[in-house]
Amino acid sequence: MIKLHNVSKSFSRFQAIKSILLTINKGEIHGIIGASGAGKSTLLRLMNLLEVPDEGEVEVNGQKLTNLSSKELRQARKSIGMIFQHFNLVANKTVYENVAVSLELANFPKKERRSRVLECLQFVGLESFVEKYPAQLSGGQKQRVAIARALANNPEVLLCDEPTSSLDPNTTAEILGVLDNINKSFGVTIVIVSHEMEVIKSICNRVTVMAAGEIYDTALIEPKGIQNLDNSPRYFIEQLTKDGDLDHA
Ligand SMILES: Nc1ncnc2c1ncn2[C@@H]1O[C@H](COP(=O)(O)OP(=O)(O)OP(=O)(O)O)[C@@H](O)[C@H]1O
């Protein structure tokens, strides 16, 4: 479970996140959608303290990250994986080394590293790519390596920042399938930032709609469509459903 309690974040004098209250339930796939600049990525990065809040508390799996020392935070982050739009692989390391590096950083027992790397690469269907370098991979394959790297330490939470925004529709569907499989197989709580309503609708159980650093609404996504949770106006959600993607200028 992830809890943000009255969390605010400013950059210089610009308030990007305004006193946000949000609970993400254990085991759910939670989408965060909103127009460009709404604060989606900042909100996600507050969940593992890549951005440190100016005010408020961040709690993940019962631990208040905002109260931890830097050593304790490093430990807590082992259970929070993250993937990015541009994959963030290390160009001069092989597929194998890119995944192994997260185990080294986490002091994973040396003897078990090789089998764990291979296990994660097998899960994403890339066990035969161990000796390849990122430049030899397609976008979808790079994102699979990034997912394997994020999975290596058995995270309880996976934060995904626009994970399919650089991919074509077929590859997007494949990557969303991998994320769904991770959620179903291991019970990992997944948070996905996206500007595409189709992505959110195809995989998420709930969606939070952001506008100008605030939560506009949180809605439950049912198989038959989107239903409002909070009895607040349905207008924005209905617009999103009708118009499809949000403008991502
Ligand atoms: N490190 C930073 N320094 C200064 N301003 C920042 C920083 N990070 C984010 N911002 C500003 O905070 C606001 C929210 O940014 P954020 O990236 O969270 O929005 P977003 O909804 O994810 O947008 P996009 O969809 O375009 O990525 C923007 O106005 C952005 O310019």
247 φ/ψ sector (left φ>0, alpha ψ -120 to 50, else beta): beta
Q: Are residues 171 and 249 in the same domain?
A: yes
Tens digit of pLDDT for each residue in 153-162? 999 999 999 9
Cα–Cα distance between 218 and 35 in angstroms, integer?
15
Q: Are residues 172 and 215 in the same domain?
A: yes
Q: Are residues 116 and 39 in the same domain?
A: no
Q: Summarize the confidence of residues 197-220 as an average pLDDT.
A: 89
Q: Are residues 92 and 177 in the same domain?
A: no
Q: How far is the CA of 147 from the centre of ligand 1 (A)?
A: 24
Residues with CB under 6 A from ligand 1: 11, 16, 34, 36-42, 195
Query: Which residue, by CA, sits nearest to atom 26 of ligand 1?
Result: 36
Query: Which residue, by CA, sits nearest to atom 28 of ligand 1?
Result: 37
Q: Are residues 179 and 95 in the same domain?
A: no
Among 154, 177, 192, the domain-final residue is 154
Q: How confident is the model at residue 219 (pLDDT cuts 50, 70, 90)?
A: confident
Structure tokens at 137: 């991979």
Question: Ligand 1, closest atom to CA 44?
Answer: 18
Ligand 1 site-directed mutation target among 12, 36, 41, most atoms within 8 Å of CB = 41
Query: Which residue, by CA, sits nearest to atom 17 of ligand 1?
Result: 41
Q: Summarize the confidence of residues 157-178 as an average pLDDT.
A: 95
CA triplet 178, 78, 140: central angle to 5 degrees? 25
Q: How far is the CA of 33 from the centre of ligand 1 (A)?
A: 14
What is the pLDDT at residue 95?
98
What is the pLDDT at residue 216?
85
What is the pLDDT at residue 224?
46
Cα–Cα distance between 182 and 102 in angstroms, integer?
18
Q: How far is the CA of 117 from the centre of ligand 1 (A)?
A: 34
Q: Are residues 177 and 144 in the same domain?
A: no
Percentage, residues of the chain above pLDDT 70: 89
Question: Ligand 1, closest atom to CA 39?
Answer: 18
What is the pLDDT at residue 223?
56
Kindly provide the b/e burial profile for residues 174-194, where b requires at least 16 CB atoms within 10 angstroms of the residue's own CB.
Answer: bbbebbeebbeeeebbbbbbb
Domain with 138, as residue range(s), is 86-154
Q: Summarize the confidence of residues 43-49 as an average pLDDT.
A: 97
What is the pLDDT at residue 232?
41
Q: Summarize the confidence of residues 37-63 as an average pLDDT.
A: 96
For the chain, the first-to-last Cα distance in angstroms comes to 32
Q: Are residues 210 and 233 in the same domain?
A: yes
Q: Which of 28, 51, 23 is nearest to 39 (CA)?
A: 51
Q: At what angle do helices 110-123 and 95-105 cross, to 10 degrees?
A: 130
Among 154, 185, 206, the domain-final residue is 154
Ligand 1 site-directed mutation target among 11, 32, 161, most atoms within 8 Å of CB = 11
What is the pLDDT at residue 45?
97
Write the CATH number for 218.
Answer: 3.40.50.300
pLDDT over 90 (residue 83): yes
Look at the chain and report how many structural domains it folds into. 2
* Residue 57, amino acid: E
Q: Are residues 143 and 182 in the same domain?
A: no
Higher-confidence residue of 104 and 228: namely: 104
Q: Are residues 68 and 120 in the same domain?
A: no
Question: Ligand 1, closest atom to CA 42?
Answer: 18
With 0-12 / 13-18 / 19 or more C-beta atoms within 10 angstroms meaning exposed / middle / buried, residue 227 is exposed
Q: Are residues 173 and 247 in the same domain?
A: yes
pLDDT over 60 (residue 44): yes
Chain-centroid distance, C-alpha 216? 20
Ligand 1 site-directed mutation target among 40, 166, 246, most atoms within 8 Å of CB = 40
pLDDT over 70 (residue 249): no
Q: How far is the CA of 158 from the centre of ligand 1 (A)?
A: 21
Percentage, residues of the chain above pLDDT 90: 78
Among 101, 130, 154, the domain-final residue is 154
Q: Are residues 40 and 117 in the same domain?
A: no
Q: What is the pTM of this model?
A: 0.90
ipTM of the complex: 0.97
Q: Are residues 133 and 181 in the same domain?
A: no
SS3 state of residue 116 = helix
CB 21 within 8 A of CB 46: no
